Chain A
């Protein structure tokens, strides 16, 4: 049929009734939840980054309120008019300590500092408090103090001062643990010490300018309120108006040890060009990603193959091994077709079909009777063979 032209003059459509402002507003409304989510995320990150109020998670740090930190001691010192300066680096520590009358606290459990670096700290402060110092540190900063092994775990009772140092006498006793040292002045000796030169958890040079505290945990937030821990810590650190609290980090490693960063070898322009190429790639994504209008729906038709029910029934036969049923279907269909082919009435019996078929073919009545009437396949293999025989018989009669 020839396509007929539409009778009505086509009506003209102008615009979609919107405007730039409205489109922008609609877009904004659509992305608003994501924007809000993004701002929230950025906000959380910013607050998390800056809002920690200088706290960190370092053990015995003056700004760590956790049990392992030492913020309690630092706060009490501050309240008593002692300025606590947390030194971020070796230079800062040396600078702060050199300013005036100060106590320099060094806590370096990971032994970041080299002997040379330690040497620069010697003698710059009025008092040096070493928390759990190692042999290297003692050798550079306090030649008179030596390590004397661990205070054994079996030491459960608090250690008693047992010396003439005022600070220690005021404290009375402190928690046991950590290291023991030998020096001119030693306090809090382990009760279980057996023989040998005397050692103690508190060791100091004769002029008390260098003090080694063998048990760092006595200044930690968790245990500072036990025994005389607080008294010892406050008296040891609070004797000068300034305490420089220095905990070396990986950044303090001697420069010569750091491997050369291969990125530093690249020319200056690589990073900006990379950034620019990234921006260009994003633009390319925008360019290719913008569709020319929304997607169009296609109402899809139902797809049902008509033979599906038969296929399903075949599966059922096979899964339930219904050989009898399958055989009777095949037999009935063959008989009906043969009856039609041999001009027999549809109501005829099987025997009539057998005889008529025998007349049409060279096969014996007995063989045909066995094939069409009596054979009952009992396995899949027999069923296949028998059904092929039926098919062959039908074809034989068809061709005659």
Chain B
């Protein structure tokens, strides 16, 4: 139970009789009246335990988008329910108006709409609903917190979607052009067309030319139905924040853009989030919208504060795809963690697959490098240079082992990774 502001006001008004008739009698009478009124009010208040609560939530919402949680309050008691109802969303759900006042007649129901502006990706929860049911006098209230759990999936925002149209256009251009310029080993026969100047003479199909008057060339299109395996590192290095966004979230953006692009390009996309064990997995064979299942798989991922176990990654990739695939490792290029973890297994991977290592670089290092005003600045610049040199050395080692490296600032990583995919596809290396 609780008391209201009105109760306190009435108690305060009691100062007058106490001042006019000082003594124990006036105090006792007024206090007794207060207690009696509050007791009566409590007895007449509708029981908050006889209130049915049901909530309708959107299945999922993308970060930066608003949504509404609809709570239906049904009154099963024999009295009218006048209540403050609070939905106890966790703070990052960004509930704008979690407390609503409702007045529900017996047997009826009212709906409360709580606007949510999620501030974080992941599973946001509401554990209980608190009902404070006031009596008819408005002096006292009964209060109960009813466990009514709810879950809102907040999906990654996929800001990099805006790069998709331009990348898709390039991919489509590739369809018609790739075979003309490049005679890759793995290209597929697409169709025949008339020879135009500039075409590679080796692509002339002599048999077809013999059947027709004109010279005919074979055209190829890039291979289709290749496998793309995206491995997202969720270990401790992915927790580091660059431009106030965890490396993990930036990597997700890049993974989403690449996945959608590769799917449109006719390839099969598998997704794996891994640190010491698989955290999420999306299978290319699964039915349904790839993007949907990807964002749903990514939503609850958090950076785990443990070291990644790269020695298990080859086995994981083998279980996904036994054929030659494009393996994209979204991780970091911090020298210490990578030298001991990824470097030893990379040689094995590159012998079987085409490997791309993508990493978010920190623009702050470049800033630190340029500031040379004071001694502290210069030491910082020197440390930044050392970090960048180490990064460059790791990159060079990766390239030596036959892997491609995409190392870009947070904003640049998704388009650059997409470009890398298009380039590999154009070169017929998939």
Contacts and interface: CB of A to CB of B under 8 A. Distances in A.
A326 interface: yes
Contact of A387 (B51, B72, B378): B378
A262 interface: no
Interface stretch (A191-199, A238-246, A271-279): A271-279
Contacts of A391: 370, 372
Contacts of B59: 3-7
B177 interface: no
B387 A332 contact: no
Contacts of A325: 382
Given A306-B247, A314-B380, A294 B128 contact: yes
B51 A280 contact: no
B120 interface: yes
Contacts of B295: 1
A15 B50 contact: yes
B56 A6 contact: yes
B88 A293 contact: yes
Given A19-B49, A273-B18, A314-B379, A4 B27 contact: no
A206 to B, nearest CB: 60
Contacts of A311: 368, 380, 383
B145 A273 contact: no
A290 B141 CA distance: 11
A330 B57 CA distance: 56
A314 B376 contact: yes
Contacts of A5: 56, 58-59
A18 interface: yes
A99 interface: no
A313 interface: yes
Interface string A357-398: 000000000000000000000001101100110010000000
A13 B8 contact: no
A14 interface: yes
Given A302-B303, A329-B385, A287 B368 contact: no
A256 B256 CA distance: 95
A4 B389 contact: no
- Chain A contact residues, majority secondary structure: helix
A317 to B, nearest CB: 5
A327 B382 contact: yes
Contact of B241 (A299, A305, A317): A305
Interface in B373-397: 373-389, 392
A307 interface: yes
B378 A286 contact: no
A6 B89 CA distance: 18
A378 to B, nearest CB: 13
Contacts of A280: 8, 11-12, 14-15
Interface in A237-267: none
A53 interface: no
A13 B27 contact: no
Given A6-B57, A286-B3, A332-B389, A297 B144 contact: no
A373 B117 CA distance: 57
B10 to A, nearest CB: 10
Nearest to A300: B92
A279 B22 contact: no
A332 B362 CA distance: 20
A209 B303 CA distance: 100
B15 A276 contact: yes
A283 B242 contact: no
B4 A287 contact: yes
Contact of A383 (B65, B90, B369, B375): B375
A272 to B, nearest CB: 4
Contacts of B120: 301
B155 interface: yes
B387 A3 contact: no
A3 B56 CA distance: 12
B287 to A, nearest CB: 16
A336 interface: yes
Interface residues of A, number: 70
A312 B368 CA distance: 13
A3 B60 contact: yes
Contacts of B388: 333
A329 B51 contact: no
A16 interface: yes
Nearest to B144: A16
A272 B54 contact: no
Given A293-B128, A296-B89, A276 B365 contact: no
A12 interface: yes
A290 B22 contact: no
Interface in B230-248: 239-242, 246-247
A273 B22 CA distance: 8
A298 interface: yes
A308 to B, nearest CB: 8
Residue picked from A3, A6, A287, A299, most chain B C-beta under 10 Å: A3
Contacts of B2: 286-287, 290
Interface in B70-90: 72, 74, 76, 84, 86, 88-90
A330 B144 contact: no
B56 A292 contact: no
A349 interface: no
A329 B389 contact: yes
A13 B22 CA distance: 52
Contacts of B144: 15-16, 18, 23
A272 B26 contact: yes
A292 B84 contact: yes
Contacts of A304: 239-241
Contacts of A327: 382
A298 B92 contact: yes
Contacts of A79: none
B23 interface: yes
Contacts of A383: 375, 378
B61 interface: yes
Nearest to B367: A307
A36 interface: no
Contact of A11 (B54, B67, B362): B54
A384 B56 contact: no
A309 B90 contact: no
A310 B381 CA distance: 9
A268 interface: yes
A15 B7 contact: no
Contact of A15 (B51, B155, B240, B302): B51
A327 B375 CA distance: 12
A301 B91 contact: no
Interface in A25-59: none
B52 interface: yes
7 contacts: A13-B129, A13-B148, A271-B22, A283-B11, A304-B241, A310-B368, A327-B382
By Cβ-Cβ distance, the 8 closest A-B pairs, closest first, are A293-B130, A3-B58, A326-B382, A15-B49, A269-B22, A314-B383, A306-B240, A333-B385
Given A13-B146, A307-B368, A383-B375, 11 more contacts: A10-B54, A13-B147, A19-B49, A272-B18, A272-B27, A287-B2, A301-B239, A302-B239, A306-B241, A315-B379, A326-B379
